[in-house]
Amino acid sequence: MRYIGNKTRLLPFIASALDRLEVPRAGRALDAFAGTAAVGAFLKARGATVVGCDLMTFSYVFQRAYVVADRYPRFAGLRTDAGLQAARQHPEFAARVAHRAAERAEPRPPAPLTHALDEVLVYLDHYLDPLTSFIARHFAMRHAPDESDPPRPPARAADDPMTAAVTHRAPRMTAAGGMALSPSAVAAPRMYFTLDAARRIDAIRSQLHAWRMAAAITDDEYYILLAALLEAADAVANTAGIYAAYIKRWQSNALRTLRLRPPSFAAAVSPRVAGAARRARCEARQGDVSALAPTLGRFDLLYLDPPYNTRQYSGYYHIPELIARGWFDEPPILRGKTGLLAGAQKSAWSTRSGCIAALDRLLADTDAGQVVMSYNSEGIIPEAEIVRLFRDHGRPATYRRITRTYQRYRSDRPSATRHYKSDTVREHLYCVRLKNSE
């Protein structure tokens, strides 16, 4: 998933730093700002027992899928599913499943190990009827002449949905998974997805919800499939990588067919470290790490990757958050031109007035040996404050900073109204042993 602050490309840099700091590979690690769980999955593959934490629901989904899950799912509860059984009768079904297994990245796990997952992915990709539900109604536009717009609730004359922060109370879901229309304010069509992609997102998300409510899939199976949907939706989203705005012309990626990709479970395939006993099950938590960390016990490593700027992630990624939460129990309330989620939780780490105090509190309250904080040279916490806090909470002579320069993430191209200071940015790893470490 395209994500600001994603550390996938920096994992070798982080790995080298952890080795230099002699952080135990098989220790216990707190991934305090888990995001897409890239670092959490890496730490797990390295041998750690990982506890992930993040405010966002979609992050919790990725943590459950890529960190908590320990094996490829078997989907025993779907063996008699009517839809899946009907799909198996199609002559091309078996070939599609075999192709799905063959396209997995190396090292490729044995096909029997992934067969159940490949069958379910093929079914969701090819054999579900499109559904016009929440995403199609509120975050999609047609791009082809033969597409018909989904019915929309009439807007009140007093509202100007193009400019005002219009509050829209979503219609209630019907038993069939559609939406019961009722008069309300509604924003103009939002160009985040084509109708074809949005209707498929709606269909797959509704099917996952139905399976879960019927206890036909386990929690691990549910989160693995939901993570695949989040990644597939992001791949065809008509954005520059964040959802604070959509592109006003169709990008080539937005016109591609939405497709669920086979997830990689490298950490699950190799759950042991040489010479080490089998580790405890990893965990995922959703909430404010400052409140949760003191309750989570002792860690060998506290890994921090806090937000760098003042834009709240609830505004940057509201559509992945909406897909992760669903719209089935308590229909979401949307506001504004981009359909932001009303009442989204905000983080003190993304405020200039609160970020320093938040870091101070976390270092004081977390029972950890080594702290490593990844933070770039343009972050809102002044470096002088980081150094002060790390030295205050750390053992004497253990503070250090390791730096690497890398290509800047750009959510859009330079223009007359958008200027970047440079093409590169420096990533700093601030490291210290806490005073309470053994």
pLDDT at 382: 95
Q: Is residue 408's pLDDT more than 70?
A: no
> How much is the pTM?
0.85
* pLDDT score of 257 more than 70: yes
Measured CA to CA in angstroms, residue 40 lies from 37, 45, 50, 94, 324 at distances of 5, 9, 6, 34, 19
At 92, phi and psi to the nearest 5? -90, -5
Instruction: Please answer whether residues 54 and 313 qualify as being in contact, where contact means their C-beta atoms are separated by less than 8 angstroms.
Output: no
* pLDDT score of 342: 86
pLDDT at 261 over 70: yes
For a pLDDT cut of 90, what percent of the chain falls above it?
Answer: 64
Confidence at residue 125, expressed as pLDDT on a 0 to 100 scale: 97
Query: What is the average pLDDT across 333-362?
Result: 90
pLDDT over threshold 70, residue 137: yes
Nearest to 138 by CA among 85, 89, 179, 91: 179
How large a percentage of the chain has pLDDT more than 70? 82
Residue by residue, DSSP assigns 65-101 as IIII--S----GGGTT-HHHHHHHTSTTHHHHHHHHH
In this prediction, residue 211 carries a pLDDT of 98
163, pLDDT greater than 50: no
Segment among 16-30, 79-93, 261-275, 294-308 with least mean pLDDT: 261-275
| Distant-in-sequence, close-in-space partners of 279: CB < 8 Å, separation ≥ 6 | 26, 47, 48, 49, 271, 272, 273
Task: Write down the domain spans for the chain.
Answer: 8-70+271-312+347-433, 73-264
pLDDT at 422: 59
Q: What is the pLDDT of residue 34?
A: 95
Superfamily of 8-70+271-312+347-433 according to CATH: Vaccinia Virus protein VP39 (3.40.50.150)
pLDDT score, position 364: 95
User: In the chain, how many H helices and how many E strands?
Assistant: 15, 12
Q: What is the pLDDT of residues 62-107, one digit of tens each?
A: 999 999 998 899 999 999 999 999 999 999 999 999 999 888 877 7
Q: What is the pLDDT of residue 250?
A: 95
Question: Higher-confidence residue: 1 or 369?
Answer: 369
pLDDT at 104: 83
Average pLDDT, the chain: 84
pLDDT value for 43:
95
